[in-house]
Amino acid sequence: MAAVDSFQLLYREMSRSCDSYFETMALVGALYTASKAVILLKDCCTLVRVHFLPRMIPSKKLTQRYGDWAVIYGGSESIAKAYAEELAKHNVSIIFVTPNHTAVRNTAASLSQSYGVETAVVLADFSLDQAASKAIKEAMRGKDIGFLVNCVDESLNSPHSLIEMPEKSLLDMVNKNVAVATLMTRLVLPGMVERSRGAVVNISSGACCRPMPGRVALIASAGYLDNFSRALHLEYSDKGIFVQSLMPFQIASGRQQPLSSPSQPSREGWFVPKPEVYAHHAVSTLGVSNRTTGYWPHTLQYGLLKCIPEWIWVLGSRVFLSYS
């Protein structure tokens, strides 16, 4: 009994001496919880402002806000084709820039027939240096270019170890997704600055928010386009140019998408929209957010991924690899 009484007495004395600390810790906990609640409320408001309000509130036509023509680089990719079609629905004429005209020739003809817009296909081999630039400048001459859309190569979505990639394929990848996307912006931007209006849209991948095994080339290319877009927006937003970084996650298509199962293509679903559905949502965010996933379920995914500390993500990836 004496031992029990001594313990109770010791506990009361310790509790009495720590009362002030308990109050301080409770205050700190309350402030932390309140700050997280404010951040969550801010994120919810941003979600509504970016993804829902633009589709409910009428706005000016895209051709009035930005221009009558769009230049699409990477038009052979499913997202870029869908984005071009969505622009065509808004009476925007399309110039496809591609090294292989057979990949977009049918798309261009279909857009002209379905939506009554003008289309052009520019065959540009950027390995020929200035020759490609001259062809693009000639195609843009006299046109009110209001949009430039660069799209990352979807073939990078398939898992590839860096040392397994052939050197030529690696150089072609860097040239297409980094050098050419930058050069296309350099070619189109002067006309936009002169007219004080225009939109540059760089479509990369949500994979750039977290490292993933087998996706070194994709994450590096997507990360470049994302940071390139943010730097451009900072430099040219006061000149009337809207620069947007689109970072989609899984898109339903025949090709493998980031974060999907390596054994089969991604299936259509709520978090895996068709390219047409994604493009419809993404175009509605033009002029609203300069950095977004373009599709509100993907924004939820992005928010959840950002909540996971990177060391936990890396550890989980290594555990997954060890069991796969």
Give whichever of 27-31, 40-44, 196-200, 215-219 has the largest mean pLDDT: 196-200
Q: Bridge partners of 97? A: 73, 122
**Is 111's pLDDT higher than 60?**
yes
pLDDT at 158: 66
Q: What is the pLDDT of residues 75-92, one digit of tens each?
A: 778 899 999 999 999 999
pLDDT at 150: 95
Name the token pair of 214: 């087998």
Cβ atoms of 72 and 94 within 8 Å: the answer is yes
Residue 171 — left, alpha, or beta (φ > 0 → left; ψ -120 to 50 → alpha)? alpha
> Mean pLDDT across the chain, nearest whole number?
85
Question: What percent of the chain shows pLDDT beyond 90?
Answer: 48
Range 277-316 burial, b when 16+ CB lie within 10 A, else e: ebbbbbbbbbeebbebbbbbbbbebbeeeeeeeeeeeeee
- 296: nearest Cα among 93, 8, 51: 51
pTM to 2 decimal places: 0.84
Question: What percent of the chain shows pLDDT beyond 70?
Answer: 85
Cβ atoms of 108 and 122 within 8 Å: the answer is no
Q: Which residue has the higher pLDDT, 259 or 105?
A: 105
How far apart (Å, rounded) are the C-alpha atoms in residues 227 and 184? 16
Q: DSSP string spanning 207-272? A: GGGS--TT-HHHHHHHHHHHHHHHHHHHHHGGGTEEEEEE------SSS--TTS-TTSPPPPSSSS
How far apart (Å, rounded) are the C-alpha atoms in residues 286 and 233? 13
**Is 8's pLDDT higher than 90?**
no
pLDDT at 128: 57
pLDDT at 19: 65
Classify strands 198-203 and 119-123 as parallel, antiparallel or unpaired.
Answer: unpaired
List the domains of the chain with CATH numbers. 50-251+268-322 (3.40.50.720)
pLDDT at 266: 57
pLDDT at 41: 92
Q: What is the band of 138 on the pLDDT scale with cuts at 50, 70, 90?
A: very high
Q: Specify the range with the lowest mean pLDDT, choosing from 38-47, 151-160, 168-177, 298-307.
A: 151-160
pLDDT at 219: 86
Phi, psi values for residue 154, rounded to 5°? -70, -20
HSE (side-chain half, CA atoms, 13 Å) at 233: 20
**Is 24's pLDDT higher than 80?**
no
Q: What is the band of 212 on the pLDDT scale with cuts at 50, 70, 90?
A: confident
Helix (H) or strand (E) holding 150: strand 145-151
Q: What is the mean pLDDT of residues 46-75?
A: 90
Q: Which residue has the higher pLDDT, 294 or 308?
A: 294
Q: Which residue has the higher pLDDT, 278 or 55?
A: 278
Q: What is the pLDDT of residues 117-130, one digit of tens each?
A: 999 999 887 765 66
Q: What is the pLDDT of residues 308-321, one digit of tens each?
A: 888 888 888 777 76
**Is 14's pLDDT higher than 80?**
no
pLDDT at 324: 60
